[in-house]
Structure 1
């Protein structure tokens, strides 16, 4: 729950605060939502009660997280529009199977499934390459993959380009926290900023994969492995849990890394 959508606040106040956060005027939002600016003003000041259809249109145009859209509907006196299942629920069995197929199919390259707070949900065995040698408390569930990445007792000591990689992760988290207004993400950002390894901004290197993307350069034994990463989200989520899931997959960025990953036999991964 965000500070904007805490219980007891009127529906108009919530919509107004999210509009301001998105940097939109009443006229801008009214045009995008297909409603008059006068009516939107009445809604925000509490002089008019919005219909559930109008709330849905406004929250969609404001690109609000699904959980927050539900809370705005509740504030307006309506039932939530989006379900919120546990990943273990029977209704999500096809989704779990698809996710498992994605993770397993990515082997022998590392891939993880994370929730909206960057907590590890699933991983394939190749992720053991990154978790080997990490301090036990970082691998105690719920494992936060950003904390594991940047903590001195986690992956950080083996990341060759730590300032660059750290700045990349912090920028992603900072944008996510601002977009969602999630206090848990803001707290995580504050924590990670306190770890050593550089500032929030680092100049990119200029060789190999770094010319087009920011790579992860990771020391494994006597070798330095180089990865590029991708993020996969569900394109049409209608469930709060599903909307927060992401697959973070790592691909080899050079032939040396490709050969090394195919030669490795990873240990069991954390759950």
Structure 2
């Protein structure tokens, strides 16, 4: 006799514990009873489709995992997963192209949930200069590009600070999502060699000026050390798994020197006809 609880109950309990909620807290948020929730988690009751969706919303479960919860409970997925190339995603592609192009000459990149690069503008060349082809194929990954010793890490003045920031960010995402692909990425980049000390590869580091950004991205270039920070843009109220997992990272200069250097890069062609690199790493 199989005494193991149904998978849906175990999954809901994992999400509740990941969010550090008691059964009572979750029951109140989902407008149900703690007794019913307990029965669902232990397999004594099967939740309705509506209840699975209400619990998923209360737990802030990503759309991809909401579909997994529905399947585990015996229901069809509620959210479709489109390709970025689909006709229905034309408006999204157009919006992304506008954002990437409008942000030039500053770098901007489109990423998926695992930080794989789906597109970039021409300003990203300043971050990808000298990166070997093996880190760009079949698809670049932001964390590999930044932290691999053969990637951008070799040109980062403050690699120790950036490495700590990136690993902490990725760890928080793993904790919040439980995503096995993100966990594998964290395990991989966490094994990259840590720097002995910042600035060891050159004498161009200057004392940090007062700044509202705790850890800027400080990069050695032929023009000098460029300092940047970034913001993230996501799509509001997504009803598609792919759309819910897209994000655009926009980099901005932290000082006037960096702004001027990015605007006058001799290798940056700002001819609108050349277009952004949106299609460069899209899946086939």
When structure 1 is superposed on structure 2, of 211-220 and 85-94 the one drifting more is 211-220
Give SS of 1:227's match.
strand
Give the corresponding residue for 1:215.
216
Aligned-residue CA RMSD in angstroms?
Answer: 1.9
Separation of aligned partners in 1, 2:109 and 2:69: 32
Structure 2 residue 129 is the aligned partner of structure 1 residue 129: no
Q: 1:9 to 1:89 in 2, by over 3 A?
A: farther
Measured against aligned partners, the alpha-carbon deviations of 1:222-241 in whole angstroms (never above 9, x if no partner) come to 40001011111112111111
**Pairwise CA distance, 1:209:** 5.8
TM-score scaled by length of structure 2: 0.86
Q: 1:65 to 1:206 in 2, by over 3 A?
A: farther
Give the corresponding residue for 1:196.
193
Separation of aligned partners in 2, 1:230 and 1:178: 21
Give the corresponding residue for 2:15.
18
Measured against aligned partners, the alpha-carbon deviations of 1:139-177 in whole angstroms (never above 9, x if no partner) come to 112111210111111100111011111111111111111
**Pairwise CA distance, 1:211:** 4.3
Structure 2 residue 55 is the aligned partner of structure 1 residue 58: yes
Measured against aligned partners, the alpha-carbon deviations of 1:13-53 in whole angstroms (never above 9, x if no partner) come to 21112112221111111011110111111111222221111
Assess if the C-alpha contact under 8 Å between 1:134 and 1:153 holds in 2.
yes
Give SS of 1:228's match.
strand
Measured against aligned partners, the alpha-carbon deviations of 1:165-224 in whole angstroms (never above 9, x if no partner) come to 11111111111111111111111111111112349xxxxx98336443321001111400
Task: Report 1:28-47 matches (<5 A).
Answer: 28-47=25-44
Q: Runs of at least 4 residues of structure 1 off by over 2 A?
A: 196-199, 205-213, 265-271
Assess if the C-alpha contact under 8 Å between 2:108 and 2:121 holds in 1.
yes
Give the corresponding residue for 1:160.
157
Q: How many residues align?
A: 259
Separation of aligned partners in 1, 2:253 and 2:111: 21
When structure 1 is superposed on structure 2, of 101-110 and 18-27 the one drifting more is 18-27
Structure 2 residue 264 is the aligned partner of structure 1 residue 263: yes
Q: 1:198 to 1:175 in 2, by over 3 A?
A: farther
Task: Report 1:63-212 matches (<5 A).
Answer: 63-198=60-195, 207-208=208-209, 210-212=211-213
Assess if the C-alpha contact under 8 Å between 2:6 and 2:43 holds in 1.
no
Separation of aligned partners in 1, 2:251 and 2:41: 45
Separation of aligned partners in 1, 2:229 and 2:237: 26
Structure 1 residue ranges without an equivalent (≥5): 1-7, 200-204
TM-score scaled by length of structure 1: 0.90
